[in-house]
Copies of this chain bind each other. A is one copy, B any other.
Amino acid sequence: MQRSDTPVVRVVATPTDMNINDGAFGGWVLSLMDQAGAVTGVSVCAGPVATIAVNNVSFEQRIELGDIVSVFADDVEFGTTSVTVSLQVTAENPTTGETRRAAAGTFVVVAVDANGEPRKIDGDYARSRDARPRER
């Protein structure tokens, strides 16, 4: 599936999210990415998912206080029971409008049933579905 220009998650970096060194906490950025991966997975799988793996995360540019932080799903691949989501994080200075790539990484989620056991993904449904956010 191709990338979407609509962010899956989009928030403002507040003082609570800031590290001692003044950039945003890596852990906070990872949480946003995990949330974006999960939401994308739920949408493709039409049901609950659980994160099972994280790979190739790079932190590229520091996120400043007040930046608008967006997580985009650049690519979504699905297997029998799992979905692999390539995520990209951008940070925008709302005063200047300058936007930069802040982080990227791959999150893998697995579709689960009511008992938390893996369940098969309906491939036709998943393919037919635009996994990324729908507009109003």
Interface residue ranges, A against B (CB under 8 Å): 5-12, 14-16, 18-21, 23, 25-28, 30-35, 38-39, 42-43, 46-48, 50-59, 62, 65-66, 68, 70, 72, 88, 90, 92, 94-97, 99, 101, 105, 112, 116, 129, 133-136
Contacts and interface: CB of A to CB of B under 8 A. Distances in A.
Tell me the interface secondary structure of chain A in the complex.
mixed
A56 to B, nearest CB: 7
Contacts of A129: 97
A122 to B, nearest CB: 13
Nearest to A65: B20
A62 to B, nearest CB: 7
A70 B72 CA distance: 15
